[in-house]
Amino acid sequence: MPTIATLLASAWPCRAIRLVLAAAFLAAGAVKLADVHAFVLTIKAFAILPTDVVKPMAVLLPILEILAAGLVLVRPRAGLLLVGGLLLLFIGVAGNAIRQGLALDCGCYGPGDPEGAVYHGLWPTVWRDGAMLAGVAFCLLRPAARPAPSP
């Protein structure tokens, strides 16, 4: 029976993390692209971008999320770096809104995101994104698997 250390040293934890990240980012990007107008309104509510930049960002961000979802599966390091960068951006935006006392739906999974209706705030978003960022860091920082020594 493998030990936890053996399991963590194997490739499986990062494969699982990458699959979860790919699913999360694909879903988030697809939902936002399906209703760009609603995402424009969400971005405007954060009041951090000039008005003329909001619509292009509402299109670009979901495309980046979908690209990150694909990259994390086919080019793991590049995909993890992109996902990590996006997560840092999302945490920063949510943290800024919390600091300002804004009670917003993050818009992470489109309009009417159940998380926004249940939790009424951005702290759950920060914690969720922080957990995903920890997964990204785990996969980026773990040593590359070495082939087993030949007998």
Q: What is the pLDDT of residue 116?
A: 56
Three-state DSSP class for residue 75? coil
Residue 44: which of 9, 10, 86, 93 has the closest Cα?
A: 93
Q: What is the pLDDT of residue 117?
A: 57
**CA 73 – CA 6 distance, rounded (Å):** 23
Q: Note the pLDDT tens digit of each residue in 8-56.
A: 667 789 999 999 999 999 999 999 999 999 999 999 999 999 999 999 9
Instruction: Give the pair of three-digit tokens for residue 27.
Output: 């879903």
Domain boundaries, the chain: 13-141
Instruction: Give the pair of three-digit tokens for residue 124.
Output: 């759950």
Residue 16: which of 109, 139, 141 has the closest Cα?
A: 139
The pTM assigned to this predicted structure is: 0.86
Q: How confident is the model at residue 136 (pLDDT cuts 50, 70, 90)?
A: very high
